[in-house]
Amino acid sequence: MKTYDEIKSTGRLKCVLVLFFVLLLFGSASYVTAAPVASFIRSPASGNAPLGVQFTDTSTGGPMINWTWYFQDGTPPVTVQNASHLFETAGSYNVNMVVWNVSETSSAQNIVNVFPLAQFTATTTTGYAPLTVQFTDTSFGNPDQWFWQFGDQGITNTSRNPAHTFLKSGVYTVNLTSTRNSMSNTSANMTITVNPKADFTITPSTGFADITSFQFNSSASTGGPTLSYVWGFEAWNQTWPTNAAVFNKTFDTANTYTIRLTVNGNGGTTDSTTRTLQVYPKAILTATPPNIVEGRPVKFEGIASTGNLTSPPVGSWSWNFGDGTTATGSNVTHGFMPGKFTVTLTVTKNGLSDSATTTVSSDSGNLYLLRSGINGNTYFSADRYGVGSGQPILFTAYSTRSIYSFRSAIRPSFRPDTSTLYTWEFVGAYDPVGHHYGPWVTNDPSIRVNDNSERKFAVDIYTVILKVTDSRDTFTVTKPRLIVVRS
């Protein structure tokens, strides 16, 4: 059996244990029923879309058994103690957090401001005036309003993706301000460089040295109205006007020139372009004397030709006399056989050439009676040796043996010798087949040619062949290149 002291000691222990559990029970009950007080902090509280925010629970009371976050941007709520969230659309959001313990709830709100982040792209950032640029909004935050400033003459636009044409040269700052729900605190900038476009015309497009006045006109350039002009080219001792939009100029040296125009616009913008201009020498010739006789020298001068032919690199003069012969030099002389000839002078300088022509006619001279033949037996005369097309020529045949029988036209008291035959042929020097007339046979010692459709000669130089046949023999006389028929 337990003693009184042992029983008393055991009772005391039980009382202590009961008291401990009672106190523990009352203490636990007091903790569970403490009211929760919700609170949280957010970082950051505002910023540009897309904005990531960290939410940290700072609630008191509890203990907590649940946290629910409502972000007010259309996304589902989340149930974690500490949340993170990405706001993609600009706006002012009243974020709400609700906490629970076993019996009570509490909520807290904080504002998060999300602003649009303005940005955009452009189809180009540089080009020639007039320059059209398409701008495309790429702002974050789903803005619903846009305000564009293009930097030229105060022009603005409120569409989302505008196109704008910059008419003048310059450097422009394009600015975009994006707005949603009346919220905006950013803008985006971009630099657009608009260069002037250099262009010009040359009128006429080609010409002659010392003769042609060329007009240089820069009105085709764009990017004005405030442009300055710098002209230049590769040449000898040539000067250009200063800052001239339009001017005239004559070149004294034949050459191919590379003309350069540089235009300077606003804001340091500039552009250059070139054109090629060919300035030819001009062939100018004279012939002395104008009336040419067979074998006599004719002086031809080409020194008056333009293009600075005598200065280095020296140009050249080339002559073609139309009779199969040529010559070089600024001044030459040449003798011609009877006939009509086209003389051509070609001058060349720096690879550029020009030609001029003149026509010369060479007569046989004052040979009104030509005596020739076999053994001196036959001769004939013509009343002219150089004629125009359609002008008649009278030929008369004679014989040194029987002057009376042959010269019936001169001594009409004597009857013609009808037993004598005269055969005439005319052969062209340049076309002996096509310009061959005759043979014409007659008893009359005189014959007219070049006076009707049958005997109308083409333009050429003709050799005359006469055959005289009588009872004694046939006598022939030939005179090469005797008759000149001109156009």
pLDDT score for 373: 39
pLDDT score for 333: 92
Compare 475 and 5 and report the one with higher pLDDT.
Answer: 475
The verdict on 354 and 395 lying in the same domain is no
d(CA 289, CA 308): 27
The verdict on 308 and 330 lying in the same domain is yes
pLDDT score for 384: 85
Query: Which has the closest alpha carbon to 172: 149, 139, 138, 197?
Result: 149
d(CA 112, CA 46): 5
pLDDT score for 472: 65
Name the residue type at position 345: L
Tell me: pLDDT of 350 over 60.
Answer: yes
Tell me: pLDDT of 21 over 50.
Answer: no
Mean pLDDT of the chain: 85
Hunting for tokens 């994006």 — which residue is that? 178
d(CA 229, CA 240): 11
Query: Which has the closest alpha carbon to 408: 446, 360, 457, 352?
Result: 446
The verdict on 138 and 76 lying in the same domain is no
The verdict on 128 and 81 lying in the same domain is no
Count of domains forming the chain? 6
Mean pLDDT over residues 123-137, rounded?
A: 97
Q: Are strands 126-128 and 292-293 parallel, antiparallel or unpaired?
A: unpaired
Per-residue DSSP letter, 139: -
d(CA 234, CA 236): 7
Name the residue type at position 107: S
d(CA 133, CA 144): 22
The verdict on 221 and 235 lying in the same domain is yes
Tell me: pLDDT of 175 over 90.
Answer: yes
Mean pLDDT over residues 202-215, rounded?
A: 96
Count of CA atoms in the C-beta half-sphere (13 A) of 310:
7
pLDDT score for 336: 83
The mean-pLDDT minimum among 173-182, 216-225, 364-373 falls in: 364-373
Tokens found for residue 187? 């803008």
Q: How far is CA 298 from the centre of its chain?
A: 49
Mean pLDDT over residues 279-287, rounded?
A: 96
CB burial of residue 298 (10 Å; 0-12, 13-18, 19+):
buried
pLDDT score for 476: 83
DSSP string, 469-484: E-SS-EEEEEEEEEEE
d(CA 406, CA 374): 17
Per-residue DSSP letter, 253: S
The verdict on 400 and 461 lying in the same domain is yes
- In percent, the amount of the chain with pLDDT more than 90 equals 61
Tell me: pLDDT of 367 over 60.
Answer: no
> What is this structure's pTM?
0.61
Q: How far is CA 137 from the centre of its chain?
A: 36
pLDDT score for 399: 60
d(CA 460, CA 321): 16
First to last CA, the chain: 177
Tell me: pLDDT of 369 over 50.
Answer: no
CB burial of residue 427 (10 Å; 0-12, 13-18, 19+):
buried
The verdict on 162 and 228 lying in the same domain is no
Rounded CA Rg of the chain: 58
Compare 335 and 59 and report the one with higher pLDDT.
Answer: 59
Hunting for tokens 């085709």 — which residue is that? 220
User: Does residue 368 lie within any of the structural domains?
Assistant: no
Query: Which has the closest alpha carbon to 444: 386, 385, 377, 395?
Result: 395
The verdict on 404 and 482 lying in the same domain is yes
The verdict on 458 and 398 lying in the same domain is yes
The verdict on 159 and 188 lying in the same domain is yes
Contact 450, 393 (CB under 8 A): yes
User: Does residue 220 lie within any of the structural domains?
Assistant: yes
Compare 339 and 124 and report the one with higher pLDDT.
Answer: 124
pLDDT tens digits, residue range 416-450?
Answer: 455 788 999 999 988 899 999 999 999 888 999 98
pLDDT score for 130: 94
Contact 334, 298 (CB under 8 A): yes
d(CA 468, CA 158): 112
d(CA 254, CA 140): 66
Tell me: pLDDT of 3 over 50.
Answer: yes
Tell me: pLDDT of 189 over 60.
Answer: yes
Q: Model confidence at 387, in pLDDT bands (50, 70, 90)?
A: confident
pLDDT score for 290: 60
pLDDT score for 235: 58
For residue 439, the domain's CATH number is 2.60.40.10
Tell me: pLDDT of 196 over 90.
Answer: yes
Contact 428, 435 (CB under 8 A): yes
Its domain, for residue 77, covers 40-115
User: Does residue 371 lie within any of the structural domains?
Assistant: no
Q: Are strands 326-328 and 316-320 parallel, antiparallel or unpaired?
A: antiparallel
Query: Which has the closest alpha carbon to 362: 296, 297, 292?
Result: 292
Q: Domain boundary at 331, 363, 395, which?
A: 363
Compare 93 and 476 and report the one with higher pLDDT.
Answer: 93
Mean pLDDT over residues 203-222, rounded?
A: 96
User: Does residue 266 lie within any of the structural domains?
Assistant: yes
User: Does residue 373 lie within any of the structural domains?
Assistant: no
Tell me: pLDDT of 280 over 70.
Answer: yes
Query: Which has the closest alpha carbon to 345: 393, 296, 286?
Result: 286
pLDDT tens digits, residue range 214-235?
Answer: 999 999 999 988 899 999 876 5
Q: Are strands 352-363 and 292-293 parallel, antiparallel or unpaired?
A: parallel
pLDDT tens digits, residue range 295-314?
Answer: 678 899 999 999 999 999 99
Q: Domain boundary at 173, 195, 217, which?
A: 195
Backbone angles phi, psi at 6, to 5 degrees: -65, -40
pLDDT score for 365: 47
Q: Domain boundary at 115, 144, 161, which?
A: 115
Q: Decide: helix, strand or coil at residue 251.
A: coil
Mean pLDDT over residues 373-393, rounded?
A: 73
User: Does residue 370 lie within any of the structural domains?
Assistant: no
pLDDT tens digits, residue range 225-264?
Answer: 889 999 987 654 566 787 899 999 999 999 999 999 999 9
Tell me: pLDDT of 85 over 90.
Answer: yes
d(CA 378, CA 401): 8
Contact 118, 186 (CB under 8 A): yes
Contact 153, 125 (CB under 8 A): no
CA separation, residue 403 to residues 184, 399, 423, 467 (Å):
131, 6, 18, 16
DSSP string, 258-306: EEEEEEE-GGG-EEEEEEEEEEE-B---EEE-SSEETT-EEEEE-TT-B
User: Does residue 369 lie within any of the structural domains?
Assistant: no
The verdict on 276 and 213 lying in the same domain is yes
Hunting for tokens 């040529």 — which residue is that? 326
User: Does residue 9 lie within any of the structural domains?
Assistant: yes
Lay out the sheet containing 378-382: strands in order across.
378-382, 393-399, 446-449
pLDDT score for 22: 41
Mean pLDDT over residues 140-159, rounded?
A: 94
The verdict on 396 and 482 lying in the same domain is yes
pLDDT score for 23: 43
pLDDT score for 408: 36
